[in-house]
Chain A
Amino acid sequence: MKIAVCVKQVPEAAHRRMNPSTKRLDRSGEGALNAFDANAVEEALRLKDSGGDGEVVVVSMGPEKAVDALRKALAMGADRAVLVSDEGAAGSDLVATSKVLAAALEREGADLVLFGQYAADSEGAVLWAAVAERLRRPLVSQVAELTVEDGSLTGRRQTEFGYDVIRAPLPAVVAVAASINEPRYPSLKGIMGAKKKQQDVLSLADLGVEAGEGASRTTVLALGDPPPRGDSRKVEDDGNAAAQIVEFLAEKRLV
């Protein structure tokens, strides 16, 4: 079975900020593999291991340095990486990004396409549905337990009302929930081996699609401050935190 995993490099939590002039996320600082995507990579590796043979390909769109995030997935055990990197893709919104990823995934022809729970930077949980639509494949999202056998998949997932079990034939698109597994840490051998694995960088022209602001349908007009939320206090526990909490609760007349 061939599994493609869509991953994203996101700025480190401490460095997440908007660039006031472009009004886009500032991607100039340190980046890392989106933590939720590690769950999708882990699930792909687990399915490959249990199925005996197969291939796990990680697919991403982003700046050239996003290769680092892909390398982490390779170090975990993925076989190959494809990065679509093109200056013309900067500023792509959901419709533009989904077009690029769908084109890259069409070339791969995977039996299963996996996504993580959401992107920690854009706080979006929408890309998989747009990609499934473009690929015209069945979609199961929010999956907390996944089994694949005899050409179909079964996913158990949580909704607002409890749990659903959904079945779909392959090829299909699945988005996993963070609770599905505990991603492995790359081993030293994995890290060393990752550099030698195949890493393709594609341009928009290679894929024959347009992206970037011209192909996007949304725009950020202005940035503003959030409404203030009263006083917020943060303390480090020096062994006295329990007493400090009680004091605070007493102040608020809660104990």
Chain B
Amino acid sequence: MPGTLVFLEHHGDELLKPSLAVLSKAAQLGGDVSAALLGSGVESLAAGAGAYGAGTVYVADDPRLEAPLPQPRVDVLAQLVGEHGFDTVLFASSILGADVAAALAARLDAGLNWQLTDLVEQDGQLVGKQPALSDSVVCDVGWTSTPRLALFRAGAFDPAETGGEARVERIEPQLEDFSTQAEMVEQAHEEQSGPSIEDADVIVAGGRGLGSPEAFSLAEELAKALGGAVAATRAVVDAGWYPYAAQVGQTGKTVSPKLYVALGISGAIQHKVGMQSSQVIVAINKDPNAPIFEYSDLGVVGDLHQIVPKLTELVRERRS
């Protein structure tokens, strides 16, 4: 019987929450649910997926799968789909997951829908919910053939433990030559240091609109006045203006403070997914068309270099 296959991601000795959440979603939809765990020295993690609804976990444990690179994983998933005829293959959205899913779509000539926030059964058909155009519209998307491939937006749902046990089946990966040409030279995966922005009640975040690394002092002063922490966007972290540990967004932290103040942040979807569950969002940006205004409780169109020093002073006065 054709079933659903969920691509599991792991980091160190842990299965990652977003992929377990997708697995729980698949289990909730019913049918035969399997998971694929690909890496090196990962077999001991496999049984843990049973608790989230996997009946079978296929494990490819191979040194060539140690680095989190997409192309060898496409070979293994294509092999699994070929052998077992899965009609649905689901992924949590991530740097790795998106590359694997898109390449697998091309390999199998299969439909891929991305950024899904839900998957439901309607009149016997699987239908994905896809927010589009900066979340101004929600599309119901479908597939015209099988297998159906889908990428789920980070944080779309939480993992749910159902408490089952998974059968673990080992497979021997057969890799294409071109899939193993890219090689990981270095992985600089920094560990957390200092207090985490994930625990802060107030976050003041800075983006490219600050104009320079020095201007981060504006964010720091305001954060101090509000009793909060400073966060940054991917663009400024990549530019070396602020450390990676403070990054909010798809490839950074997911935060939900009581107050999120966005300074000079345009608010692309990659940033939004990391902070949209903040209780109150205030944004200052000089571009009136910045997407962040679409989901801010208060949006101010103006020059943050003028506004923020005054704001910091007013907050300080109020608090003293």
Contacts and interface: CB of A to CB of B under 8 A. Distances in A.
Interface in B141-182: 141-145, 151, 176, 178, 181-182
B29 interface: no
Interface centre among B99, B113, B244 (most CB of A within 10 A): B99
Interface in B269-320: 269-270, 280, 282, 284, 288-289, 291, 293-303, 306-308, 310-311, 313-315, 318-319
Interface string A97-133: 0110000000000000000001001111111111111
Interface size class of B (residues with CB under 8 A): 35 or more
A15 to B, nearest CB: 11
Given A124-B114, A158-B237, A232 B140 contact: no
B131 interface: yes
Contact of B94 (A160, A222, A230, A243): A160
Interface residues of A, number: 86
A208 interface: no
A202 to B, nearest CB: 20
Interface in A151-165: 154, 157-165
Contact of B289 (A13, A122, A178): A13
B292 to A, nearest CB: 11
A179 interface: yes
A106 to B, nearest CB: 14
A159 B68 contact: yes
B17 to A, nearest CB: 11
B111 interface: yes
Contacts of B284: 241, 245
A94 interface: yes
A94 B101 CA distance: 11
Nearest to A222: B140
Interface string B104-123: 11110111111100000000
Nearest to A248: B298
A133 B319 CA distance: 58
B183 interface: yes
B299 A95 contact: no
Contacts of B15: none
22 contacts: A94-B105, A118-B270, A122-B132, A123-B115, A141-B70, A142-B95, A158-B244, A160-B94, A165-B185, A218-B111, A218-B142, A221-B141, A222-B139, A224-B137, A224-B138, A225-B137, A234-B296, A236-B288, A237-B306, A241-B307, A242-B310, A254-B202
Interface of A: 13-14, 16-18, 23, 25, 93-95, 98-99, 118, 121-134, 136-142, 144, 154, 157-169, 172, 177-180, 216-226, 229-237, 241-246, 248-250, 252, 254-255
